[in-house]
Amino acid sequence: MNIDITLLNKCISGDDRAIALLYKECFAVMKSIAIRYQYNNAEVNEAINTGFLKVVNGLTKYDPEQSFTSWLKTIAINSNIDLYRKKKVYLSRTLPVEDCAIYERYDAPIYSETEFNAEQLLSLVNQLPPVSKKVFNLFAIDGYSHKEIGLLLNMSIGTSKWHLSNARKKLKEELSSISKSKKIAI
């Protein structure tokens, strides 16, 4: 995504056309994030729009030396988490870190690239419990550490680890069942 600095300056000055152009540019990135965190189309649009509003309002704080895409992604993820907090579907479970150690030693299964498509994988992620889904998205896809996740979702590191392993366990089961059904079909 190439964003011209003049476009950003126009957006800061309140140029509606520039804002519309920036929206088009950012739409794919923001939707690809929102679709992983939210459950339906209305929620996805809400997350995109609130996130983009924050982007437009915060353009004055944007440092041009920083990558615009990573800045945009950070805002998009934070606004998704904020929406999640607002809706109060917070089902946090607290476990001591020691109890979670076992979940960290998971066997990384090997999957082939063509075995599953994005739509299938997304539906699997959406089947996860809300908190586990958030933790998995943040850790596995967006690259957040457990400490950062703990701060974002207001939970301990141990709880974050538990949710991650829970998500992995469920996804692994689902993937293996899909694989088996495919083989049977063949």
Partner 1 sequence: MKKFDLDDLFKNALEEQDFNFDPQAFKEFQSLSNNKNEKKRRIPILWLFLGFTLLFSGGAYFLYNNATKRDITVASSDTSSTDNNAYKPNKKVLEQVSEATNHTPNISKNIVAKNVISSKTEVTNPTDLKLNRTNIKTYTSSTENLNIEKSKALGKTLTDQNILVKNHINSHNSKFTYKSLQHTASVNAPNRGLLDISFLPSLNQILKDKKRSLSFNQKVKSLPSVIEKYCSKKDAYFLRASVGRGQLKSNHYSLGIGIAISLTERFGLESGLFYNYLSASKLKPHRGFAQKFNITGSNFYHNSIEADQLHLVSIPLSLKYKYKNISLSTGMQYSYLLGVRGTITDNKEGTEASRSTWIVETGIHRNIIHLQSGVSYDLCSRWSLDLTYDHYTRSLFTEQRNAQKLSSLKLGIRYYLKK
Binding site for partner 1 (CB under 8 A): 20, 23-24, 27-29, 31-32, 35-36, 45-46, 48-50, 52-53, 56, 108-114, 116-118, 121-122, 125, 136, 139-142, 168, 171-172, 175
CB closer to partner 1, 68 vs 136:
136
> What are the angstrom distances between the C-alpha of 160 and each of 74, 104, 131?
19, 11, 9
Asked whether the beta carbons of 136 and 125 are under 8 A apart, the reply is yes
Give least dist CB 133 to partner 1, A: 11
Question: Rg of the chain over CA atoms, in angstroms?
Answer: 19
Give least dist CB 125 to partner 1, A: 7
> Which H helix or E strand runs over 156?
none
Helix 41-57 and helix 68-86, axial crossing angle in degrees, nearest 10 = 130
CB closer to partner 1, 101 vs 151:
151
Q: Which DSSP state fits 116?
A: S
CB closer to partner 1, 123 vs 181:
123
Asked whether the beta carbons of 25 and 1 are under 8 A apart, the reply is yes
CB closer to partner 1, 35 vs 100:
35
Name residue, tokens 């457990």: 146
Give least dist CB 74 to partner 1, A: 14
CB closer to partner 1, 131 vs 168:
168
Give least dist CB 10 to partner 1, A: 16
Structure token pair of residue 21? 């152009």
Give least dist CB 154 to partner 1, A: 9
Measured CA to CA, the distance from residue 178 to residue 137 in angstroms comes to 21
